[in-house]
Structures are given as C-alpha cells and as structure tokens.
Chain A
C-alpha cells in the first residue's frame, strides 16, 4: 500500500479549564510550540496554518507570538466543527501542494454560562430571542427526549455516559473536571433541560490545541510513529434535518449532518466502523454522545442501552469513547475542541496515553464534532 497523502507528526495541548487573565492567543501559541516540539521541528518549517477561534476576532494574529515568517495563515470559524474544519483545510493544503508542512491550531476563552447572542447572527427574528427560544441547550434536551422515547433507551444510560466521561477525566492529567461522580449523583443533580441534569452537560471554558501535519512521504523525517489522516470530512445540514435554532421543521425528515459526514469519511478512508478501536464523539451533553454512537455507525438506534450496560465504551471496552473525558470533562473552547480530540486520538494510536491508554495496540481512531447550526466534521486516523 502506498503511503497516505497526509500525516500528523506532532500534537500539542494547552489544558482546557479556567486560566485567569491569560490570553487565548498565548494559550494557542503554547499549544503550537508544544506540537512543534513534539514533531521535533520549528515554526520556521511550517508553510501554512489554519487558526480557529470564536472569541478571538483575528486568530491569525498568533504569528505575532510564533514568528513573522510571512506564510499564509487563515482564521477559521465554523461553529462547534471549527477544530475539525481547521484540520481538514490544513490536510487539503498539503494534498493540493500548497504546503508540505502545515499546522492546525485552535484556541478560545469563553465567558461562563450558556452562549448568548443576538438571534440576528443566526438569521433569526428578534422575538425568537426575546421569548427565550434562542438557546443551544434546550435543543439537546429536546433531541434526546425524543430519541429515548422513540428507541426505548433509559435516562440511566445518560448517567452512565456522564459518569464514564468524568471517570476518564479523573485519570487524564490535563482534564478540567478531575472528580468522578456516581451515576446516582449525576441523576440527582439539578435538571438543566429535561431529562438532562447539570453533570450531563459540558461547559464553555478556555484552552488550546495544535497539530503539525506534513506530506505523507516526509513523515519519517519528523517522527518514528506518524499517524495518517485517512479521511477528514465536513458536512452541513440538509433540508429536514432536526437541528438547533429551528423555529419550524418540515414533516419529512433528513439524517443529521453527522450521518452524512460519517458515511463520507468511511468511504474516503476505505475503513468501516468495525475497524475503529478508539473514538472521540461530540458530547456536548450525555445525550449527544448516546445519539452519536448510532449516527456515526457504531451501533443501531436503541442498542446503546445494551452497549452501555456492558461497558462497551469504557476504556477497557470494545469501542472506548471519549477516553480523555470528552467535552464533559474538558469543557468546550470551541476553536480548540476538535483538535483536542485529534490530540487524544494520536496519543492513543501511538501508545502514549498513560493511565487511560486503550489496550490491544489500537491502529484506527475516529473523531467527530457536531454543533450549531447543523455542521459536523469527522476524521479517521490510522497508524
């Protein structure tokens, strides 16, 4: 088999959490330097970079901290799919011959609490915000409530997912949430949006992550353990998909953009869901992870109840999911979140994940993002 086009040869992370008055750009630069050090190279070797953020209006200003080398640098924002989009564009730049070494960098620094904005930014009328409908959180309660009803899954499964992610966070040195909670504590916590309780949700926070990519045939110059990008697919929503911020929906439904991105990624990679040994799935809330197990092709709708009862998505299970605790344990700095998934997956495929290392020498990993207003990015990586 010929060498795949694009390799990941270095990853870096600035821990997610709360970091006082430290600037997002500085966190981004530290993550980038860590990724460059991991690749055994320097910023001067990088030929293009994609830098994602929601809160930083000019993320490309990171060159002021990394070095003014004159290379093309592009700011990226694509909702919760920003990190996956940055990675996809960096990989495409390599494939298209624009660069032989590229970086994807993401950073953010969000205020506390639910995201707040004028509905006009999403093309929605003012009354939608005035009457308390312009929020992302209630969508997740609505979707999982419907899903549990339609597919006979219990709220206990939601608690199992949240408990798993907090437990994985407790053995991940850089995770924001380090304290495991019991399923009962999670179920007994205040409800945010029925049936989701406080501990079933992730929170907005701060942090950064970065990835160094290069042309596949150059990978061994940087590392003895390259991880190849087998697919990096992005999809937006189709008419009829059940999405955030929808005052109305047609009676005829379409699959989520996750389903479209996932199917495209499997096809491009020539790899099926049964070959994936570790997965990072968007867990804005425990219900999202539950639904995403099926939408990404790992199980049928409703099978999650049995999978979770068997511990199938635990680190020792047959498909470990969100091995670093996911968004629930790390929070969601939007620009960086998808690159944290890449960071974790690369460590797992290289056997460097410490106490949370997945056994059985995993060779194929999978990452998935989903968010408003209906965008999904899926990446398939392999050794």
Chain B
C-alpha cells in the first residue's frame, strides 16, 4: 500500500474519516488559519461556499513548490477562497481545475488529496475543496 504523509503537521486532522482543518482562536475571539502557536486550537467546518476563484496555469517557481512534475507535465489547478459560514474565508486548491465548472456561491467540501509523490513513492497530502451538489448542502 502506498505510504501517505501530510505536507505539514497541525494543518488538518489526519488520518481521519472526516478530516478537518485546524485553526486557532485568539484572545479577541478572532479565528486564524493556519493555527497560530500559543492560541487555542479549534477545528473548522468541512463545508462552505465558493467565494472567489482563479486558476494556476503555469508551474509555480520551484523551490518553494515541490510538485514532482515538470513545466511539461504540470497539470493546472484551480484555487481561491471558500467561505466557511460563521468562521472565515480559507484559501485552498480545488479538486476541479476547469474554471467553467466553478461558480461563485456553489457548495464546496473539504478533501485531503495527494499533490506530489516523493522519490521513495510516498504520497504527500494537502487539503483541497471539492464542488459538491447543491442538494448535498447541509450545515456542518
């Protein structure tokens, strides 16, 4: 079985059947993602709505990007912000890369996805949001 590791500790709960992003709450009650050291941690909701999006059509400068692709094999992805109701706007990659299939206001749900594979075959996981059907929208 393929070994999987999270790109960073403390970013999302993993392994978990329903992973959550880890935020923190300051003394003033303001939420931060990623969590700030020294603040009380809290888990964010898994569902929200698409607030804004764009696409990344060229391979980001590497380093710091560490995808195991090349300028030739790079697969564009979409990214932007998801509004988590009552919490915050979180920036994320999306599982859907086609901007024609994204619509501001549509429901989105958290996923944990591999974004690169190391030389030893280990898959590195990050968080992303996936469009989900309107009728699947429920309070999280």
Contact = CB atoms under 8 A, between A and B. Distances in A.
Do A and B share a complex? yes
A142 B55 CA distance: 8
A138 interface: yes
Given A149-B104, A247-B90, A248-B91, A126 B64 contact: yes
Contact of B54 (A126, A132, A193, A249): A193
A138 B90 contact: no
Contacts of B126: 127, 131
Interface residues of B, number: 44
Nearest to B56: A138
Given A118-B63, A132-B65, A248 B56 contact: no
Nearest to A248: B33
Contacts of B52: 142-143, 145-146, 149
Contacts of B87: 251
B31 interface: yes
Given A114-B60, A127-B11, A250-B30, A138 B54 contact: yes
Residue in B81, B83, B124 whose Cβ sees the most chain A Cβ within 10 Å: B81
A132 B93 contact: yes
A248 B88 contact: yes
Nearest to B77: A132
B66 interface: yes
B64 A130 contact: yes
A148 B34 CA distance: 29
Contacts of A145: 52-54, 80, 104
Closest 4 CB pairs of A and B: A129-B64, A116-B61, A141-B54, A146-B52
5 contacts: A118-B63, A130-B116, A141-B55, A190-B57, A194-B57
Given A113-B61, A130-B7, A138-B54, 12 more contacts: A119-B64, A129-B65, A130-B65, A130-B116, A135-B61, A141-B54, A145-B53, A149-B52, A194-B54, A195-B54, A249-B89, A250-B31
